[in-house]
Every structure is written in C-alpha cells, then in structure tokens.
Chain A
C-alpha cells in the first residue's frame, strides 16, 4: 500500500484481556515508531525500531507492554492484562531512515478497555 496501515482500527477489550495491535509500515522504511495518544492529548512516544532492533523502549508504560518487529517490517504492539487506563489511540509511524526523515503516520488503532 501507499501508506502506513494499522489493524484493527478499533478494538474493544475487557479488562484483563491481552490485545495485539499490528502496524504495516511503508515498504522499505527502516524505522518504525509507536505512540500512545490519550483523549485530548498529544501523542506520547512508546518505542522505536531500526530494522528489527528495538533501540529505545523507554516510553513503554509498564512491563505489560511489549513490541516486536522480528523481520524488520511488520510490527506488533502487545498489551497484556489490559487496564482501563490503557484506553487510547495507538499510532504507528515509519520513516525511511532514522535521522532526519519525515515520519509517516498510520490512522491509529482506537483501543477501549471496559
């Protein structure tokens, strides 16, 4: 596809369930980023990858959050034992390189935890 795609677009989970959010970056993009956007706030950095290497995961809120990009392309953000405070839009972005290239954002996955 021409842009970054994310699936599912909407996810409703019961508290305590595990969820997996998928990001398909633009083909050939080396860098991939995950952000969490709570209602009424700006995106907050979670983690980023260069190819398959996770270079910074300092933004992950707890050890319930885990991200992977095993083949350097598609990435999955997994949240275990979801809590209500995990409700947010999860944004994925990719860029051609890491340094000064534009980040292209996907439409996001809206997660609602009941």
Chain B
C-alpha cells in the first residue's frame, strides 16, 4: 500500500527566506508524485507533479521539487518566500497502476513572518 509522510506539521519562515518542505513516500514501484497548496476556504491547487524523466520538477509560483528515489523523497523548495505563500501544503502519491487513487500526507502549515 502506498503512503506519504510529511514530517513537519508547521513551519515558520521569514519573508524572503528560502523554504524546503519535506515529503517521504512509500510505494513499491515508481510513483506519480504531487504537491498541492490549500489556502483557507479554497480548494487544493496543484503546484507541480512528477511522473518520469528529469527528477527536478518546476512548478507554478516559483516552486520546485526534487525526486530522490534512493531517499524515497520528494521535497518542495522555493528560494524566496512571499507572504502570500502562507497556506497548507500537501504531498500526494499515486500508483502508476491505479491512476484513480491518490494518497495524501497530513500536510504542512506554512507561516510567513514579515
């Protein structure tokens, strides 16, 4: 069975500082990996996804993530955080053999200090 762990429940960074949100997954084969952002009162929005190929993936809003098979990780990064990035971030995994079923982590809440 697939699973996702986001070790950090809450992270606080200063505006302009760099950000890294951790995600570890468990799945037997190469998974499909996703990062979503959820702002209060809004639906989840896809930031980026990894299916295959280049392990460094670029997304929207200046985010990127790197797939590291040896570490079963897919960490999200941003070089300079903006106040508007404050939100909850979810990592998700989907099996390549069951395209309908995604498994989400419990999320990391990001607070941005002025």
Contacts and interface: CB of A to CB of B under 8 A. Distances in A.
A93 B44 CA distance: 9
A41 B32 contact: no
A4 B46 CA distance: 14
Contact of B43 (A41, A50, A107): A107
Interface residues of A, number: 29
Interface in B84-114: 90, 92, 98-107
B45 interface: yes
A108 interface: yes
Interface string B24-60: 0000000010001000011111100101000000000
Contact of B103 (A45, A50, A104): A45
A58 B44 contact: no
A1 interface: no
Interface of B: 4, 32, 36, 41-46, 49, 51, 90, 92, 98-107
Contact of A106 (B43, B51, B90, B102): B43
Given A100-B32, A107-B42, 9 more contacts: A41-B107, A42-B90, A42-B104, A43-B90, A48-B101, A56-B100, A56-B101, A102-B46, A103-B46
A76 B13 CA distance: 41
B33 to A, nearest CB: 12
A43 B46 contact: no
